[in-house]
């Protein structure tokens, strides 16, 4: 039996942020159908926490994006990786971009002032984990077997 060559890419046919957008759109749609506000009226605390979430998103995403740029590899999961990135925020989590999108999702949820997107967030994270991250991990494990094995043993998937 011969070893099969590693796949050319992770095989994700859509941009992964679309899963977050879909969850948010569904949550906003549910809110329009049956409003479920987090706070009634203006809330400085809610807006402040929303801004903090957006800033956390920006900080994590910019760090992850910069790490990919330094490595001269692609962010697009249906293109082959030309390098295996483990620096920047990848030292702390294997999925900083998806984690940053959770922070952005929380910020937007607070800005739109609805519990519905928050209720849907676990389903969004589960979908990202199973439909995107699992494929990416299979690809990286095949493309960079020893490096990815050591990396995944020392760095958590999410936090």
Residue 131, in any domain of the structure: yes
pTM summary value? 0.93
Task: Bin 54: left if φ > 0, else alpha if -120 < ψ < 50, else beta.
Answer: alpha
Residue 32, in any domain of the structure: no
In the block, residue with structure tokens 């903090």: 52
Question: What confidence tier does 4 reach under pLDDT thresholds 50, 70, 90?
Answer: low
Residue 73, in any domain of the structure: yes
Number of domains in the chain: 1
Range of 149's domain? 43-154
Per cent of the chain over pLDDT 70 is 96
pLDDT digits (tens, 9 = 90+) for 86-144: 999 999 999 999 999 999 999 999 999 999 999 999 999 999 999 999 999 999 999 99
């Amino acid at each position: 039996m011969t070893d099969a060559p590693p796949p050319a890419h992770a095989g994700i046919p859509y941009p992964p942020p679309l899963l977050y957008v879909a969850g948010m759109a569904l949550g906003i749609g549910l809110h329009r159908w049956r409003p479920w506000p987090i706070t009634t009226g203006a809330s400085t605390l809610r807006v402040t926490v929303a801004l903090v979430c957006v800033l956390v998103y920006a900080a994590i995403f910019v760090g992850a994006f910069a790490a990919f740029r330094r490595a001269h590899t692609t962010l697009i999961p249906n293109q082959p990786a030309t390098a295996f990135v483990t620096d920047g925020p990848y030292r702390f989590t294997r999925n900083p971009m998806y984690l940053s999108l959770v922070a952005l999702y929380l910020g937007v949820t607070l800005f739109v002032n609805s519990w519905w997107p928050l209720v849907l967030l676990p389903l969004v994270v589960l979908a990202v984990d199973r439909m995107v991250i699992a494929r990416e991990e299979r690809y990286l494990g095949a493309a960079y077997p020893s490096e990815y094995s050591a990396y995944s043993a020392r760095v958590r998937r999410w936090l």
